[in-house]
Structure 1
Amino acid sequence: MTTTTTTAAASGTFSIGGDLPVVRLGYGTMQLTGEGVWGPPKDHDEAVRVLRRSVELGVTFFDTADSYGPVVAEQLLKEALHPYADDVVIATKAGLTRQGPGVWTPVGVPAYLRQQAELSLRNLGVEAIDLFQLHRIDPAVPLEDQVGELKKLQDEGKIRHIGLSEVSVEETKAAQQVATIATVQNLYNLVKRDAEPLLEYAEEQGIGFIPWFPLATGELSQQDGPLAAASQEHGATPSQLALAWLLRRSPVMLPIPGTSSASHLESNVAAADIELTDEEFDKLTQVA
């Protein structure tokens, strides 16, 4: 198994919005919360340790949301990393409400989005949010009203860049009529590539593409999964190959694998050192 003696910096960098550089291999905080993304972590001290270890390993891009916990993940970031290093970039989201474990309900009312942005500023301990993402488009509220409120917050200096989550190319284009969109975040991994058209559009536009569930919630990390044979040939874990494939797939790709374990974190970061040849990339694409 490949282990890391370097850092996530080997994955290269991408500038969000053209002016906010991040190391491409980031960290997603959803798995730090309780079961069903509800409540506190099972091991609070380990959660803090994972976040601090991420920074030690060169991770600069952290993805979170007000709904993770709710508020638990944002507050853990503040506890573990505040005051933040100059190169640390935190992206959060609003637009999904929680009524219990595993329950997610879109709410895009402008006053609600503003309220959540203000609360995220407090929970993260920042004066401006680096990247604020609309977690879901609320079908009951005009898209221009939802993105328009984020644009107002941006104009007020409370958020730096605007992102979208789980959108189509058409929805992204519509949002671009209201504000500059710096990133999009959709379900995407080696075995789930429905968002390919959005990725291609993001490449054309210079928009960062954040694939959530980059390891297919563990499906790609199984020793008997679709990457098992390839991982043995490459001397890496299936998870590492899945992340290496994402990094190789596009220069705008910003994978955010999440874990509640420091050892798993170190293994994931080691994927930054794996350089796939064209032949290896094509083989993995077809195998999965």
Structure 2
Amino acid sequence: MVQRINLGSQGLEVSKQGLGCMGMSAFYGPPKPQEEMIKLIRTAIESGITYLDTADKYGPHTNEILVGKAIKGIRDKVQVATKFAFFVDEKGNQGIRGDPAYVRAACEGSLKRLDVDCIDLYYQHRVDPKVPIEITVGEMKKLVEEGKVKYLGLSEASSADIRRAHAVHPITAVQLEWSLWSRDVEEDVIPTCRELGIGVVSYSPLGRGFFSGKAIVEEIGDGDFRKLVPRFQGENLEHNKVIYKKLCKIAATKNCTTGQLALAWVQHQGVDVVPIPGTTKLNNFKENISSLDLTLSKVEMNEIENAVAGVKGDRYGDMSMARTWRFATTPPLSS
């Protein structure tokens, strides 16, 4: 069974590796067959994975419904994390909202779709550049006081916003992209989380499938947003494939797959880190969970890091990149 760890310092206990459910419903091509995905989620739970990650944006909404169906009757065996912030109005306009009315409405919607009485970990998916984070987290705090949410989290938030949010109500976890080719968070965000006793949830720990070798251009179909990601395009991709081949050689010496090696690297970052690799295939899930058995020495960690140095291309396109922790921030409370 999978080891359980404390995520953050507020009392939330989760499996050392979680399951990202997004790709089952959205962004990586057409939605996958519901019954197959429910079976996969339940297999993960039976294998000891207790932390399930979803969001109202995934679908939109359909992924929460899927997760809700998968945990029916076994709610006490899992910790469900979901997120709010992205919206699409009646006219098709898209944006990010962190105002109190939207926070509350989004939570009510997620509770209904998940068919649960309480959300274990509720994240602000992206900070709203129009609303001071103290206002947003203040409303999230009320949801905790009302028993609708147990713990609070932030996703893609800067260290400054994390500090401001944590002063309003303890933040249990910060979710961010942390992998062999997304390491800028180590400069400031990760140290801030550790100073404040906040857990770290690593999404896309396999580089959106790149380090597992399952996401090269020839295999990316229509409707897969990775076609728009600079790291998977043109010269950037060709350069990054050379990096992948270096990783393959190291994996061979460890008698494991490149995906397992990349996941193990994330898992070796500390006892406060929980990666949430996503998958839609049982074999891939088994491969991911087996990475927990890998042990890497400091020398091997350095060898892996040196092998993947020099990745080319941003991790998002321009518009999405502008919403990440490095570029997005909330206005001062006094403004």
Matched, 1:232 2:252: yes
1:14-65 CA distances to partner (integer Å, 9 max, x unpaired)?
244432211110001111114x368x72322221121111112110111111
Q: CA deviation at 1:104?
A: 6.2
Q: CA deviation at 1:71?
A: 1.2
Q: CA deviation at 1:206?
A: 2.0
Structure 2 residue corresponding to 1:221, chosen from 212, 220, 229: 212
The 5 Å alignment of 1:29-48 reads 29-34=21-26, 36=27, 41-48=31-38
Residue 49 of structure 1 contacts residue 262 of structure 1 at CA under 8 Å; is this kept in 2?
A: no
In the alignment, the residues of structure 1 paired with residue 172 and residue 206 of structure 2 have an alpha-carbon distance, to the nearest angstrom, of: 24
| Residue of structure 2 in register with 1:203 after alignment | 194
Q: CA deviation at 1:98?
A: 4.4
Q: CA deviation at 1:177?
A: 1.8
In the alignment, the residues of structure 1 paired with residue 150 and residue 6 of structure 2 have an alpha-carbon distance, to the nearest angstrom, of: 16
In the alignment, the residues of structure 2 paired with residue 232 and residue 97 of structure 1 have an alpha-carbon distance, to the nearest angstrom, of: 45
Residue 206 of structure 2 contacts residue 277 of structure 2 at CA under 8 Å; is this kept in 1?
A: yes
Residue 264 of structure 2 contacts residue 295 of structure 2 at CA under 8 Å; is this kept in 1?
A: yes
| Residue of structure 2 in register with 1:59 after alignment | 49
1:179-202 CA distances to partner (integer Å, 9 max, x unpaired)?
111100111111110111211222
Structure 2 unaligned residues grouped into runs of 5+: 215-240, 309-335
Matched, 1:163 2:129: no
Residue 135 of structure 1 contacts residue 164 of structure 1 at CA under 8 Å; is this kept in 2?
A: yes
In the alignment, the residues of structure 2 paired with residue 174 and residue 165 of structure 1 have an alpha-carbon distance, to the nearest angstrom, of: 14
| Residue of structure 2 in register with 1:14 after alignment | 6
Residue 46 of structure 1 contacts residue 262 of structure 1 at CA under 8 Å; is this kept in 2?
A: no
Q: CA deviation at 1:105?
A: 2.6
Amino acid at match of 2:192: Y
In the alignment, the residues of structure 2 paired with residue 254 and residue 178 of structure 1 have an alpha-carbon distance, to the nearest angstrom, of: 24
Of all paired residues, the percent bearing the same amino acid is 35
Structure 2 residue corresponding to 1:113, chosen from 103, 106, 110: 103
In the alignment, the residues of structure 2 paired with residue 131 and residue 264 of structure 1 have an alpha-carbon distance, to the nearest angstrom, of: 26
Residue 8 of structure 2 contacts residue 272 of structure 2 at CA under 8 Å; is this kept in 1?
A: no
In the alignment, the residues of structure 1 paired with residue 154 and residue 175 of structure 2 have an alpha-carbon distance, to the nearest angstrom, of: 6
In the alignment, the residues of structure 1 paired with residue 36 and residue 199 of structure 2 have an alpha-carbon distance, to the nearest angstrom, of: 30
In the alignment, the residues of structure 1 paired with residue 141 and residue 28 of structure 2 have an alpha-carbon distance, to the nearest angstrom, of: 28
In the alignment, the residues of structure 1 paired with residue 28 and residue 151 of structure 2 have an alpha-carbon distance, to the nearest angstrom, of: 25
For 2:64, what is the secondary structure of its paired residue? helix
For 2:117, what is the secondary structure of its paired residue? coil
Q: CA deviation at 1:149?
A: 0.8
Structure 2 residue corresponding to 1:180, chosen from 152, 165, 170: 170
In the alignment, the residues of structure 2 paired with residue 273 and residue 263 of structure 1 have an alpha-carbon distance, to the nearest angstrom, of: 16
Paired positions, count: 276
In the alignment, the residues of structure 2 paired with residue 41 and residue 169 of structure 1 have an alpha-carbon distance, to the nearest angstrom, of: 35
Residue 110 of structure 1 contacts residue 149 of structure 1 at CA under 8 Å; is this kept in 2?
A: yes
Amino acid at match of 1:45: E
Residue 264 of structure 2 contacts residue 292 of structure 2 at CA under 8 Å; is this kept in 1?
A: yes
In the alignment, the residues of structure 2 paired with residue 267 and residue 142 of structure 1 have an alpha-carbon distance, to the nearest angstrom, of: 42
| Residue of structure 1 in register with 2:231 after alignment | none
In the alignment, the residues of structure 1 paired with residue 10 and residue 99 of structure 2 have an alpha-carbon distance, to the nearest angstrom, of: 29
| Residue of structure 1 in register with 2:307 after alignment | 287
Q: What is the RMSD computed on CA atoms of the aligned residues?
A: 2.0
The 5 Å alignment of 1:122-161 reads 122-161=112-151
Matched, 1:190 2:180: yes
Instruction: Give the TM-score taking structure 2 as reference length.
Output: 0.78
Query: More deviation in 77-86 or 154-163?
Result: 77-86
Amino acid at match of 2:257: T
| Residue of structure 2 in register with 1:4 after alignment | none
In the alignment, the residues of structure 2 paired with residue 228 and residue 104 of structure 1 have an alpha-carbon distance, to the nearest angstrom, of: 40
Matched, 1:274 2:294: yes
1:85-140 CA distances to partner (integer Å, 9 max, x unpaired)?
433100110011247xxx96311121111011011111112111110000111111
In the alignment, the residues of structure 1 paired with residue 88 and residue 256 of structure 2 have an alpha-carbon distance, to the nearest angstrom, of: 38
Q: Which has the larger radius of gyration?
A: 2
Instruction: Give the TM-score taking structure 1 as reference length.
Output: 0.90
Residue 56 of structure 2 contacts residue 64 of structure 2 at CA under 8 Å; is this kept in 1?
A: yes
For 1:221, what is the secondary structure of its paired residue? coil
Amino acid at match of 1:228: C
Matched, 1:93 2:83: yes
